[in-house]
């Protein structure tokens, strides 16, 4: 193999690795987007629970 062929083979190897890394990154970004939506819902539920418990606590304190 001459130098040019080795360089092309090495470039092809690097491009293949780059494609695999990009595919993995794409999959991870999609997973992160789904998790972000779930975290938003979790935060909203937590806030609603906190507000509800705060109101119950205030009502109990005002009764006394």
* Cβ contact 9:1 at 8 Å: yes
Q: According to the model, what pLDDT value does residue 63 have?
A: 81
Pick from 46, 27, 49, 48: nearest CA to 38: 46
pLDDT of residue 36: 96
More confident residue, 10 or 60: 10
Question: How confident is the model at residue 64, as a pLDDT?
Answer: 61
Single pTM value for the model: 0.63
pLDDT tens per residue, range 3-45: 999 999 999 999 999 999 999 999 999 999 999 999 999 999 9
Residue 42: its pLDDT value, please?
96
């Amino acid at each position: 193999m001459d130098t040019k062929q080795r360089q092309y083979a090495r470039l092809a190897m690097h491009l293949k690795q780059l494609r695999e890394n990009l595919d993995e990154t794409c999959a991870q970004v999609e997973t992160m987007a789904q998790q972000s939506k779930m975290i938003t819902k979790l935060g909203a539920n937590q806030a609603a629970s906190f507000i509800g418990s705060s109101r119950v606590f205030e009502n109990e304190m005002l009764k006394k």
